[in-house]
Amino acid sequence: MRTTTVHLLHAGYVRAGGRVGGSVTLVRDGHVLIVADPGMVAARSAILDPLAALGVAPEAVTHVFLSHHHPDHTVNIALFPNAEVVDFWARYKDDLWLDHDGDGYALSPRTRLWLTPGHTEEDASLIIEADDATYALTHLWWKGDRTPIVDPLAWDQGAIERGRARIVTAVDVVIPGHGAPFRVGGQGAAALPAPYDMERPRR
């Protein structure tokens, strides 16, 4: 049986004095290892130590997912030299710039990229049908208490609202861009588009 798990490596924050940390997450889906948003942290050990505790070497990470392009979510991409980087638009590996399917693109059998513009025009979320719950890794929310309701940096607040509505009906747990996970009243995998168990060819 396939094992799919989600591990929050670093809960992000926004604090007075210019301290900004991004939420950094590891997704295991079988042998696929995805690090989401390896961005700003107080020291790189804040990403690497929890990863090591899970038995994952940086070289073993197969994918880096970017929710968007702001530095607080991207500055540590290069910690993962063998990873294919995936954003809302494309896939990037060494000097290859490759297309993907856009909304609904499967990074692995139980993960999907959703296009969720609003914070920026280039925002995406990662939806994971894990063994214990269905998760969304997304910057549609900043913090675990769901504040700020109105994103002060929003490119399009209406698009944020539409993205939030889509996600809360589909998932159980949201990991926001700068905070701890929170639960939403989703319908779990039943609301997700099929087929979720389809094995895709490996690259």
Which residues face 15 on adjacent strands?
Answer: 19
Please name which of 181, 52, 71, 172 lies closest in space to residue 120, comparing C-alpha atoms: 71
CB of 124 to Zn ion, least distance (A): 13
C-alpha 124/C-alpha 118 separation (Å) is 9
- Residue 84 sits in the site that holds Zn ion (CB under 5 A): no
Nearer to Zn ion, 155 or 196 (CB): 155
Q: Which is nearer to Zn ion, 47 or 189 (CB)?
A: 47
Instruction: State the nearest-atom distance from the C-beta of 112 to Zn ion, in Å.
Output: 21
Smallest distance, Å, CB 132 to Zn ion?
Answer: 26
| Residue 135 or 141 having the CB closest to Zn ion | 141
What values do phi and psi take at 58, rounded to 5?
A: -55, -35
**Cβ atoms of residues 40 and 58 within 8 Å:** no
Shortest reach from residue 23's CB to Zn ion, in Å: 9
Measured CA to CA, the distance from residue 83 to residue 64 in angstroms comes to 6
Q: Should residue 177 be labelled a site residue for Zn ion when binding is judged by CB under 5 A?
A: yes
179 binds Zn ion per the rule CB under 5 A: no
Binding string, residues 37-76; x marks residues near Zn ion by CB under 5 A: -----------------------------------x----
Q: Which is nearer to Zn ion, 72 or 87 (CB)?
A: 72
State how far the Cα of 203 lies from the Cα of 187, in Å rounded to an integer: 32
Give the nearer residue to Zn ion in terms of CB position, either 117 or 177: 177
Of residues 89-128, which lie at the interface with Zn ion (CB under 5 A)?
none
**Local structure of residue 8 (DSSP, 8 states):** E
Residue nearest Zn ion, Cβ-based: 177
Q: Across the beta sheet with 32-36, what order do the strands follow?
A: 4-10, 24-29, 32-36, 63-65, 84-86, 90-93, 96-99
Residues that bind Zn ion (CB under 5 A): 72, 177
